[in-house]
Amino acid sequence: MALDKFGRNIHYMRISLTDRCNLRCVYCMPEDITFRPKPELMQDDELELLVKLFVELGFDKFRLTGGEPTIREGIVDVVRMIASQEGVKSLSMTTNALLLDRLAKPMADAGLQRVNISIDTLDPEKFTKLTRWGKLDDVLRGIRAAEAAGLTPIKLNAVIVKGFNEEDVIDLAALTLQNPWQVRFIEMMPFGDVAGFQTKQIIRAQDMRDLIKEKLAPLEPVLNKKYASGTNIVAAPDGKTKAPLMDGEARLYRLNPPDGLAQGTLGFISSVTNPFCASCTRARLTADGRLRLCLLREKEVDLLTPMRNGASYAELKEMILDGIWHKPWGHDLDNNVIPLNRVMSEIGG
């Protein structure tokens, strides 16, 4: 078991399979980003060895991300390799869905269980503006392909950005009225080169909820697991408080219009204004093989270089355990400590 010094059991690994992407979302990466040369990134055999180590250390939940994970060469084989490790209980992916039309079924057959799909607006023009050249139709097709392949329950991720899509929370939330999906609204986080933009244009989760209540329907905290459509619900309420149930990092709510409760749920991920550090169980592996201990802190442990220099299995395990032990409690954005060494796509969101 990998414990940190605060007693948190860290068993959820998010792996960035590539820093590259077929889009350039404004909140994620600059348009003229330079990607790392491929030899600097983990190769398949290196990734396999690290996954085996993590599993031996008690990691049982994995999420593949990036960059855009579906553009990694041999993605179906990567999914199969991870899914086939004994001890892996959960394997999911965060994707922009552009390639799911072609890949959802083979990845599901290879052992992928679920996907989170990023979709920040239902307006085709705004979508293109936010992603710099993406087509909304491709994402909608991808969502259908994921559902058909059984990569469910479907979760949709929307980062809300002032001046781009704050009004779109209403249409996105309305999707849950008729669909058993979880639509998750994410507060924009500041990273690297784009931190100035991100800090100025953040919309708080509380403001999103207020807008939904005002313009769409009353919003109720989900208090009972029975009514949550997500999986991996981590913290049930005590039944007395009105604190919403959490699904991973998302606080769950449900629309309650006069004609009956919505089918799906809304998740609010307020990493900036109301973080969930006490229940954090995760670490990240960057595409260049660094163990990143907290999304919003620069602290990392380089595993790839020692591995390439011949470090033994036992030495690598020791480095991982030591890194996890020193995992920071959480972010320090209030004191203006902003992670500058990487943008989101390099860390793996």
Which residues of this protein are in contact with ligand SAM, per CB under 6 A? 21, 27-28, 65-66, 68, 94-96, 118, 157, 159, 186, 188-189, 191, 198, 344-345, 349
Residue 186, contacted partner among ligand SF4, ligand SAM, none, CB below 5-8 A by kind: ligand SAM
Burial letters for 141-170: b for 16+ Cβ neighbours within 10 Å, e otherwise? ebbebbbebebbbbbbbbbbbeebbeebbb
- For the chain, the straight-line distance linking the first and the last C-alpha, in angstroms and rounded, comes to 24
Q: Which is nearer to ligand SAM, 21 or 304 (CB)?
A: 21
Neighbours of 100 (CB within 10 A): 27
The dihedral sign for the CA sequence 174, 211, 169, 19: negative
- Answer for the pair 83, 112: CB distance below 8 angstroms, yes or no: yes
Q: Which stretch binds ligand SF4 (CB under 6 A): 25-33, 238-246, 282-290, 301-309?
A: 25-33
Residue 188, contacted partner among ligand SF4, ligand SAM, none, CB below 5-8 A by kind: ligand SAM
State residue 91 phi and psi, 5-degree precision.
-135, 115
- Answer for the pair 59, 29: CB distance below 8 angstroms, yes or no: no
Residue 338, contacted partner among ligand SAM, ligand SF4, none, CB below 5-8 A by kind: none
CA distance 265 to 235: 16
Of these, 2, 15, 21, 55, which contacts ligand SF4 (CB under 6 A)? 21
| Shortest Å distance, C-beta 164 to ligand SF4 | 13
CA distance 138 to 65: 19
- Answer for the pair 251, 213: CB distance below 8 angstroms, yes or no: no
Q: Which is nearer to ligand SF4, 27 or 253 (CB)?
A: 27
Is residue 141 close enough to count as binding ligand SF4 by CB under 6 A? no
Q: Which is nearer to ligand SAM, 182 or 319 (CB)?
A: 182
Q: Which stretch binds ligand SF4 (CB under 6 A): 10-18, 61-69, 73-81, 330-338?
A: 61-69
The 3-state DSSP class for residue 347 equals: helix
CA distance 195 to 160: 15
Q: Which stretch binds ligand SF4 (CB under 6 A): 60-68, 143-151, 225-233, 329-337?
A: 60-68
| Shortest Å distance, C-beta 240 to ligand SF4 | 39
Q: Which is nearer to ligand SF4, 55 or 119 (CB)?
A: 119
Length of the chain: 349
- Answer for the pair 35, 342: CB distance below 8 angstroms, yes or no: no
Q: Which is nearer to ligand SF4, 79 or 255 (CB)?
A: 79
| Shortest Å distance, C-beta 31 to ligand SF4 | 10
Of these, 28, 76, 246, 320, which contacts ligand SF4 (CB under 6 A)? 28
Q: Which stretch binds ligand SF4 (CB under 6 A): 23-31, 47-55, 224-232, 278-286?
A: 23-31
The 3-state DSSP class for residue 30 equals: coil
Nearest to 67 by CA among 11, 109, 18, 107: 18
Of these, 10, 15, 17, 29, which contacts ligand SF4 (CB under 6 A)? 29
The DSSP H or E segment spanning 118 is strand 114-118
Q: Which stretch binds ligand SF4 (CB under 6 A): 22-30, 170-178, 181-189, 322-330?
A: 22-30
User: Which residues of this chain interact with ligand SF4, rule CB under 6 A?
Assistant: 21, 23-25, 28-29, 66-68, 96, 118, 345
